[in-house]
A = this chain, B = another copy of it.
Amino acid sequence: MSKIVQTPRPPYYAVIFTSLRKEGDHGYAEMSRRVLKELQGQPGFLGYEGARQDIGVTVSYWESLAAIRAWKENPVHREAQQAYDDWYADSRIRVCKVERDDS
């Protein structure tokens, strides 16, 4: 069961990853499991929310920009990044500072 991430009081950071998939798996499902497992142990990681219909929209939340940089260099994540062209027809990564939380 998915939940809304209980993030702390702002400011903190969000990485919005949006993507359009190509046809076929090409190792995507297995790598997704590995990446999500790795993410759980990553320092500064606050949580993750995501869904895919026509487009995939996933948001990961982070304590700091340094934590986001470190995740970008994580070996499992790097391995995944190298396969993006196999999986995605288009994708975009936006790094954001969460300034306000209206819930």
Contact = CB atoms under 8 A, between A and B. Distances in A.
Interface size class on chain A is 35 or more
Interface in A40-78: 49-59
Nearest to A92: B103
Contact of A49 (B4, B55, B101): B55
A2 interface: yes
B101 A4 contact: no
A4 B16 contact: no
Interface string A83-102: 00000001111111111111
Interface of A: 1-5, 7, 10, 14, 16, 18-20, 49-59, 90-103
